């Protein structure tokens, strides 16, 4: 019998109210300050996070594992090929067993329906650590970074350049929740999810040309042209996306105090020029660090009453 509907999960940004998201971002900033000042803050003693990875990760794994340790809990790192899941045990059975033993679960997988099925059968909260559809944890970090470096993002213009992929979908949800305008420059056939575009249409529009989309923008964002699972399409994608690159010329179209963000890993010379990634407008290293702080706030939000 599915029990997950009674639980609070974090599968997409639209699962949580705009107020709760803003509170989480602010809490991320507080937790960052506590860590900077060397104050131990163990709000999750004896809590255990199980992390299931069906794709590679550097930031997501380290930030969740370190975050749980810093909050006084622990994390278990699992990959599907080291689990019975990889030998065909159903996700529903895996969910019922794991959620009877730990307090919270994070999953990184391909098909979004898999994490939805897990959540449906889980007795504990489930966090989306990236699926083919979305990457909401990254948006917590990105929104924290903008708030720290430039203040409130509401009413600002954000430009997405490149593939209408999982990150782009989550940016559309963020535009809706944090009330900014998102301009998306992507090639035809590589648009974000149509249903989501309809839902968030008041805040998002497709503007094909990168330089036009970047005009007056407060934040320019991109991501790899070849997401995990698309390795076989690499050379075709590199040709299709060749004009969807964040270059100094694109950044010149944006506001003079515009920031550049990228969830990383970045491919220099492909979706972003080295000069932009390493330049003064780039917020990518703070953005990456903020995965830790923002997700600690998320863990508290899901686990502390
Ligand atoms: N940005 C991000 O999710 O990075 P990892 O793939 O390294 O976790
Ligand atoms: N769109 C990328 C994000 C990696 C963090 C991917 O899915 O591979």
Cα 32 → chain centroid: 18
Average of pLDDT values for 181-189?
98
| Cβ–ligand 2 contact at 273 (below 6 Å) | no
Average pLDDT, integer, range 93-120: 98
What integer pLDDT is reported at residue 6 of this predicted model? 60
Of 135, 157, 180, which Cα lies nearest the Cα of 295? Answer: 135
**pLDDT digit string (tens) for 123-160?**
999 999 999 999 999 999 999 999 999 999 999 999 99
Please state the rounded mean pLDDT for residues 199-219: 98
**Which pair of structure tokens corresponds to residue 269?**
């010379």
Average pLDDT score over residue span 148-175? 98
Nearest protein Cα to ligand 2, atom 1? 227
Proportion of the chain above pLDDT 90, given as a percent = 97
Q: Tell me the C-alpha distance between 62 and 28, whole Å.
A: 16
Q: What is the pLDDT of residue 305?
A: 77
Question: H or E stretch including 53?
Answer: strand 48-53
Residue corresponding to tokens 């969830």: 263
Q: What is the pLDDT of residue 4?
A: 55
Residue 212: its H or E element: helix 210-213
179-186 mean pLDDT: 98
Q: Is 261 in the pocket of ligand 1 (CB under 6 A)?
A: no
Cα(290)–Cα(292) distance, integer angstroms: 5
Look at residue 2 in the predicted model and tell me its pLDDT: 55
On the question of pLDDT at 174 being above 80, the answer is: yes
What band does 3 get if pLDDT is binned at 50, 70 and 90? low
7 pLDDT above the threshold of 90: no
Name the helix (H) or strand (E) containing 159.
strand 157-161
- Over residues 220-230, mean pLDDT: 98
Burial class of residue 81, CB neighbours in 10 A (0-12, 13-18, 19+): exposed
CB-based contacts of 84: which residues, under 8 Å, 6+ apart?
A: 94
- pLDDT classification of 201: cutoffs 50, 70, 90: very high
Which DSSP category does 11 fall into? S
Domains in the chain with CATH codes: 4-135+291-303 (3.40.50.1370), 137-287 (3.40.50.1370)
What is the rounded CA–CA span in Å between residue 259 and residue 20?
Answer: 25
Q: How many helices (H) and strands (E) does the chain have?
A: 12, 9
Give the residue-averaged pLDDT of 103-119: 98
Cross-strand partners of 246 = 272
Cα 31 from chain centroid (whole Å) = 19
| pLDDT, average across residues 98-109 | 98
Given 27, 96, 108, 112, the catalytic residue: 108
- In the annotation, is 193 catalytic? no
CB of 57 shorter than 6 A to ligand 1: yes
Q: Which of 71, 55, 251 is nearest to 63 (CA)?
A: 71
Q: Six-digit token pair at 65?
A: 């594992």
How many whole angstroms from 115 Cα to the centroid of ligand 2?
16
Dihedrals φ, ψ of 92, to 5°? -65, -40
Whole-angstrom Cα distance, residue 173 to residue 231?
26
With a pLDDT cut of 70, the percent of the chain lying above it is 98
Whose atoms come closest to the Cα of 129: which ligand? Answer: 1
Residue nearest atom 2 in ligand 1 by C-alpha distance: 59
Q: Determine the distance separating the centroid of ligand 2 and the alpha carbon of 37, expressed in angstroms.
A: 33
> Mean pLDDT, to the nearest integer, of 280-296?
98
Q: How many other C-beta atoms lie within 10 A of the C-beta of residue 80?
A: 20
In the predicted model, is pLDDT for residue 43 greater than 90?
A: yes
The answer to whether residue 241 scores a pLDDT higher than 90 is yes
Q: Can the peptide bond before residue 265 be classed as cis, meaning omega within 30 degrees of 0?
A: yes
């Amino acid at each position: 019998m599915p029990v997950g509907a009674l639980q609070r999960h974090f599968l997409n940004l639209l699962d949580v109210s705009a107020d709760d998201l803003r509170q989480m971002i602010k809490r991320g900033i507080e937790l960052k300050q506590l860590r900077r000042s060397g104050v131990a803050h163990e709000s999750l003693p004896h809590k255990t996070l199980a992390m299931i990875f069906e794709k590679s990760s550097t930031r997501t794994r380290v930030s969740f594992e370190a975050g749980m340790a810093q909050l006084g809990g622990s994390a278990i790192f699992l990959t599907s090929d080291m689990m019975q899941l990889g030998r065909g045990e159903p996700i529903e059975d895996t969910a019922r067993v794991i959620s009877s033993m730990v307090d919270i679960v994070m999953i990184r997988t391909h098909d979004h329906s898999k994490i939805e099925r897990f959540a449906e059968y889980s007795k504990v909260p489930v966090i989306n650590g990236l699926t083919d559809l979305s990457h909401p944890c990254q948006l917590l970090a990105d929104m924290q970074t903008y708030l720290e470096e430039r203040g409130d993002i509401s009413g600002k213009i954000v430009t997405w350049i490149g593939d209408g992929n999982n990150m782009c979908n989550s940016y559309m949800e963020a535009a809706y929740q944090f009330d900014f305008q998102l301009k998306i420059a992507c090639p035809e056939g590589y648009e974000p999810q149509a249903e989501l575009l309809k839902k968030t249409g008041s805040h998002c529009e497709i503007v094909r040309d990168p330089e036009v989309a970047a005009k007056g923008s407060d934040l320019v964002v991109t991501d790899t042209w070849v997401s995990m699972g698309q390795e076989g399409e690499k050379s075709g994608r590199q040709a299709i996306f060749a004009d969807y690159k964040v270059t100094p010329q694109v950044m010149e179209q944006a506001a003079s105090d515009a920031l550049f963000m990228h969830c990383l890993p970045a491919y220099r010379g492909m979706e972003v020029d080295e000069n932009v990634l390493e330049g003064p407008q780039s917020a990518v290293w703070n953005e990456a660090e903020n995965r830790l702080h923002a997700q600690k706030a998320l863990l508290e939000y899901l686990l502390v009453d």
